[in-house]
Structure 1
């Protein structure tokens, strides 16, 4: 179990570095859930729990000084304890959501402590010592990672057996309620995402997706391909050369002259 706990901790390190650096989306619940499932020998359960949490936290994002729920810790701990207890998706969601909220406070504490390195980096920048600026940057990342991985490691090593005992004592009617509540959580994620889409000119893209789904009968993959095509078309139109040609063609058309696109 110690080896598996260390490997899951490695998953947490990769996800934390990705979230605070390159943003290859390795920190998303779908990926961390799958990697945790791989470590514990049940990739299918890992994918199922990660996918459910991905939908639940679809609209969770940090804006300005706001620190969102710690989806990395929530997804990893929830997936790991759910697989270890044998309770599946219901337990995964029931554990992940409160864990994400609790560890959110640790993330805030870590970023508060990082102010020390920020001040040191500012002092080094004034003297032109770029090497020290880089060093303080990486030290701050190490501190954030430690605040993330230590609770995860302890939860995996200590919590697995107790979680199984806990769920064994929960009455079936309560588990049914937890399952129903977990099934409703993805709707909250979609609702949070819609609050960002239904602004200014973004609603038209929602309308395109709705038409493609209801009247076009497209699957999720088909709508994703339509979205890619629309984004590509908008990028093409926004190019200076293309937009200039379109404007010139419109002028030529107004003058009654022929034009060749």
Structure 2
């Protein structure tokens, strides 16, 4: 478990918002920290890929519309993606229960994120003094080295502690929790993905009539039991028809002809 906790802690750092090593935010925040990706990675590390992916998919739906406007972090997706999903896998609980645990840890993770921002402001003031002195080495340290050390410690240590020391406790917690509480957590965990999808639709859908496409997709998955390949082909067909026959695009196409 020691090596597994170390690996999860390292991936938590590599996927954080301020880590530059994997193509910046492209490879880290927008790839490694997506729960769909991290669920597979955590599953590989812990030896249960199927459970990791199932929890990752459920958690991804909750945070599918998460944005960080102006650096504001409503929930720390990085802690959701690694220590939270890891604890969900180790607990052996239903993915719906794991989603509830992940949401709680994600909100608590904002404390760590805000603390890191406070420390970075200290480095900024240190950098001002180095600039006045013309100390190039000091400028590099406060901009490229010290913040990464802080970021690593604040990501690795909580993740390591949560996975290494928290695994037995989370299993005991799930086992000892009354069934009615587990049922409540399952219901809440089942509702959270719907909230995430709802927020995404609110951001993306500009015309209420476009919800018809969402309804078609829902019917195709739930009632017609279409797989992802068939659903993707159906989505492409509807997208082409919508583009071709919508009023503005129709006029543009007719003018080209």
Same fold judged by TM-score > 0.5? yes
Instruction: Give the superposition deviation at 1:192.
Output: 1.5
Q: Does 1:153 align with 2:160?
A: yes
Measure the CA separation in 2 of the matches of 1:93 and 1:171. 18
After superposing the two structures, state which structure 1 stretch, 23-32 or 206-215, moved more: 206-215
The answer for the alignment partner of 2:7 in structure 1 is: 7
The answer for the alignment partner of 1:30 in structure 2 is: 36
Bigger Rg, structure 1 or 2? 1
Q: How many residues align?
A: 238
After superposing the two structures, state which structure 1 stretch, 108-117 or 118-127, moved more: 118-127
Instruction: Give the superposition deviation at 1:122.
Output: 4.7
Measure the CA separation in 1 of the matches of 2:184 and 2:158. 28
Note closer, same or farther for the CA distance 1:15–1:89 as it changes in structure 2 (3 Å cut): same
Measure the CA separation in 1 of the matches of 2:216 and 2:97. 36
- TM-score after normalising by structure 1: 0.75
SS of 1:83's equivalent in the other structure is helix
Note closer, same or farther for the CA distance 1:41–1:124 as it changes in structure 2 (3 Å cut): same
Alignment of 1:192-203 (within 5 A): 192-199=199-206
Note closer, same or farther for the CA distance 1:212–1:176 as it changes in structure 2 (3 Å cut): closer
- TM-score after normalising by structure 2: 0.76
Instruction: Give CA deviations for 1:97-122 in whole Å, capped at 9, x if unaligned.
Output: 11111111110111111012223445
Ranges in structure 1 where 5+ consecutive residues have no aligned partner: 235-245, 251-258
Ranges in structure 2 where 5+ consecutive residues have no aligned partner: 244-251
- State which of 173, 183, 186 in structure 2 corresponds to 1:176: 183
Measure the CA separation in 1 of the matches of 2:6 and 2:26. 23
Which is bigger in relative contact order (C-alpha 8 A, separation at least 6)? 2
Measure the CA separation in 1 of the matches of 2:17 and 2:71. 19
Instruction: Give CA deviations for 1:205-252 in whole Å, capped at 9, x if unaligned.
Output: 76656567769x886556656569969xx9xxxxxxxxxxx89x95xx
